[in-house]
Amino acid sequence: MKRQRGASKFEFAITVAIFGVLAAALLVRLDAIQAEAERAEVALTVRNMRVGIQLAIGERIMRGEEERIGEVAEASPMDFLGHRPPGFTAGRVAETPGQWAYDPLTRELSYLPRLPQAFDHVGELRWRYVARVDASGKTVGASLVGLN
């Protein structure tokens, strides 16, 4: 009786099919991880801007310079990050995926997602930078308000 060396064609086909199923499962999981990473990146960037705005206002209050809070409200929210995100554009709408933009005329911050499915297929995320004023019309704060 002749002894067979190696795997038969059937065994090879089964092995390839198993590897194909594992690769497909890995790709699906990788997409989910990338989507979660982009959601976290956007959330952290917006949170860092909000914290930076609060710190700038708090500094002015601690120094007794409440009249300068309006400067915070007039600046770009990107000015309160330690560094600007890669691909940031000022005065325009985000044009390429993964890009942030701030339009000082409309006072809107926008982000064009790399993976729209991570944000329920929203094509563009937007926030408005608004000044908070008291009853006398004096600027007492600023905040980012989500528009979508």
Q: What is the tens place of the pLDDT at every residue in 53-111?
A: 999 999 999 999 999 999 999 999 999 998 888 888 877 778 889 999 999 999 999 99
Cα R_g (the chain), whole angstroms: 25
Name the burial class of residue 127, with classes exposed (0-12), middle (13-18) and buried (19+) by CB atoms within 10 angstroms of its CB.
Answer: buried
* Residue 85 vs residue 146, higher pLDDT: 146
Q: How many domains does the chain have?
A: 1
Establish if 3 belongs to a structural domain: no
Largest alpha-carbon pair distance within the chain? 102
| pLDDT bucket at 24, cuts 50 / 70 / 90 | very high
User: Judging by DSSP bridges, how do beta strands 89-90 and 99-103 pair with one another?
Assistant: parallel
Establish if 2 belongs to a structural domain: no
Establish if 4 belongs to a structural domain: no
Locus of tokens 């929203």: 122
Q: Tell me, yes or no, if the pTM score tops 0.85.
A: no
Domain that holds residue 59: 9-146
Establish if 1 belongs to a structural domain: no
How large a percentage of the chain has pLDDT more than 70? 97
What does the DSSP assignment read for 89-148? EESS---STTEEEEETTTTEEEEE-S-GGGGTT-S-EEEEEEEEE-TTS-EEEEEEEE--
List 103's β-bridge partners, or say none: 108
Beta-carbon contacts of 19 under 8 Å, excluding residues fewer than 6 positions away, are none
